[in-house]
Chain A
Amino acid sequence: MEAVLFAITAVLGIAGGVGVIAARQPVHSALGLLLALLSLAVDYLLLDAQFVAVLQVIVYAGAIVVLFVFIIMLLRATGDAPRARTAVPPAAASVLGAVLAAALLTAALTVRTGPGGVGAEYGTVQQVGRALFGPYALPFEAASIVLVVGMIGAVALGKRAQVIAVARTHAAPGVRAPAPDAPAGRVAAGGAGERER
Chain B
Amino acid sequence: MSVPAPLYLSLSAVLFTLGTVGVLVRRSALIVFMSVELMLNAVNLSLVTFARLRGGVDGQVVVFFVLVVAAAEVVIGLAIIVNIFRTRDTVDVDDVDLLRG
Chain A residues within CB distance 8 Å of chain B: 1-3, 6, 10, 13-14, 17-18, 20-21, 26, 29-30, 33, 36-37, 40, 43-44, 46-49, 51-52, 55-56, 59-60, 63-64, 67-68, 71-72, 74-75, 77, 79-81, 84-88, 90, 92-94, 96-97, 100-101, 104-105, 107-111, 113-118, 122-123, 127-128, 131-132, 136, 139, 143, 146-147, 149-151, 153-154, 157-158, 160-161, 164-165, 168
Contact = CB atoms under 8 A, between A and B. Distances in A.
A66 B20 CA distance: 23
Max chain A CB contacts within 10 Å: which of B2, B9, B48?
B48
Interface residues of B, number: 75
Interface of B: 1-22, 24-28, 30-31, 33-35, 37-38, 41, 44-45, 48-49, 51-55, 57-58, 60-61, 63-65, 67-76, 78-83, 85-87, 90-94
Given A17-B38, A52-B60, A117-B55, 15 more contacts: A3-B3, A13-B15, A21-B19, A21-B35, A52-B44, A60-B37, A81-B92, A104-B16, A108-B12, A114-B55, A116-B5, A131-B57, A131-B58, A139-B65, A146-B68
Name B's interface SS.
Answer: helix
Contact of B7 (A6, A13, A93, A154): A6
Contacts, number: 258
B75 A153 contact: yes
Nearest to A160: B83
13 contacts: A10-B7, A47-B1, A52-B60, A71-B81, A87-B26, A87-B93, A105-B13, A111-B9, A111-B53, A118-B52, A132-B61, A150-B72, A154-B75
